[in-house]
Chain A
Amino acid sequence: MTNNEVKTKAQVAAAMTKIAGVAAIEGTDCEYTVEASALIQAAEYLLGAGYEFLADITAVDYLAAGHFRLLYQIANYHNGDIITLKLDIPREAAEADSLCGVYAAANWLEREVYDMFGIKFAGHPDLRRILMWDGYEGWPLRKDFVQQPNKYQGRRRLD
């Protein structure tokens, strides 16, 4: 895909806001909140618009507000524009759609989010732990994670 075929941020904004469930965030020109149902549609549009580089999928645990926020950073291979998709999901029902059908890089990125937060991705071909071992219990990066002490560990955290 040549540089001419990559849509600018303004063109992307015009098309993205037309998708139901996608809203632009005030004050920025490349960040959008998406609803769970619109995620795959938004990602497919971005892939077609020249944004082929799925840079990152990660989650932030807003314990006080009671939800996880999934962040998708989608860039292109020509300039430095990064489109950020933010998806809020409730902590009790932590599920989202998998982007494995759109970007192949989503496979390991979603496995890492699952391993650290316990967020399940529907449609992922191989959702299992990637950094911790298979029998590990607990989701380490959640704010309410309690470390299981064992005889091999040192001093505890001071909080």
Chain B
Amino acid sequence: MALKTNIRFPQRGGMPEGDPANTHDLLTQEELESRGILFTSLDKLFRWGAGWSLWPLQFGLACCAIEMICTTQSRFDMSRFGYEVFRNSPRQADVMIVAGTITEKMRPAVELLYHQMPEPKWVIAIGSCAISGGPFVDSYSVVAGADKVVPVDVYVPGCPPRPEAIIDGMLQLKAKLSHPERKQVVRDDK
């Protein structure tokens, strides 16, 4: 993206007067980056940093938790995407990965854990039980989806989703973080 920046190179005797749109004084952002000068906003920088180091809350409920554990193991290794440490305490976590069925008895605990997480926080719902209640949707004790309890950012379908799908969901969250202006995010490889 070409961003025209207003760089004036001071000369002997002070700043030059004249037309600020003097193009031979301006350098594009790419030219600056090639010379090792990066321009960004603090907001973008923090989002970039947060996207690459999201710490999940260890919150496996049911079968999808086992696929999530397999995603952390050496074959699929999600720590290379920044999800390095699973925090046991919600006070230290960024992302709540709801993996499994939420039951009526567990619902107050899910809400409490979500409120105990500090801002900014996100929620990934893994598996059809967390998305909409799944095969247990008409049971007397199952909550029909995590988004009835907490606001969900990314949905990963599957029963259970393969570890590759879980990693895709996590990268979707990273893309969502980097582009908050977009309503629906299709993951690009930025």
Contact = CB atoms under 8 A, between A and B. Distances in A.
Report A-B touching, CB under 8 Å.
yes
Interface of A: 132-133, 140, 145, 147-148, 150-157
Interface residues of B, number: 15
A156 B138 contact: yes
B141 A151 contact: no
A147 B145 CA distance: 18
Contacts, number: 33
Interface of B: 104-105, 107, 132-133, 137-138, 140-145, 148-149
25 contacts: A132-B105, A132-B141, A133-B104, A133-B105, A140-B140, A140-B141, A150-B104, A151-B148, A152-B143, A152-B148, A152-B149, A153-B133, A153-B142, A153-B143, A153-B144, A154-B132, A154-B133, A154-B137, A154-B138, A154-B142, A154-B144, A154-B145, A155-B144, A156-B138, A157-B138
Given A153-B144, A154-B137, 19 more contacts: A133-B104, A140-B141, A145-B140, A150-B104, A151-B148, A152-B107, A152-B143, A152-B149, A153-B133, A153-B142, A153-B143, A154-B132, A154-B133, A154-B142, A154-B144, A154-B145, A155-B138, A155-B144, A156-B138
Nearest to A147: B140
Contacts of B133: 153-154
Contacts of B132: 154
Contacts of A145: 140
Contacts of B105: 132-133
Contacts of B149: 152
Contacts of A151: 148
Nearest to B136: A154
A44 B18 CA distance: 107
B140 A152 contact: no
Given A132-B105, A133-B105, A155 B137 contact: yes
Contacts of A156: 138
A20 B9 CA distance: 109
A31 to B, nearest CB: 32
Contacts of B137: 154-155
A66 B36 CA distance: 84
A133 B105 CA distance: 7
B174 to A, nearest CB: 30
A142 to B, nearest CB: 11
Nearest to B137: A154
A152 B138 contact: no
A153 to B, nearest CB: 6
Nearest to B133: A154
A89 B143 CA distance: 34
Contacts of B144: 152-155
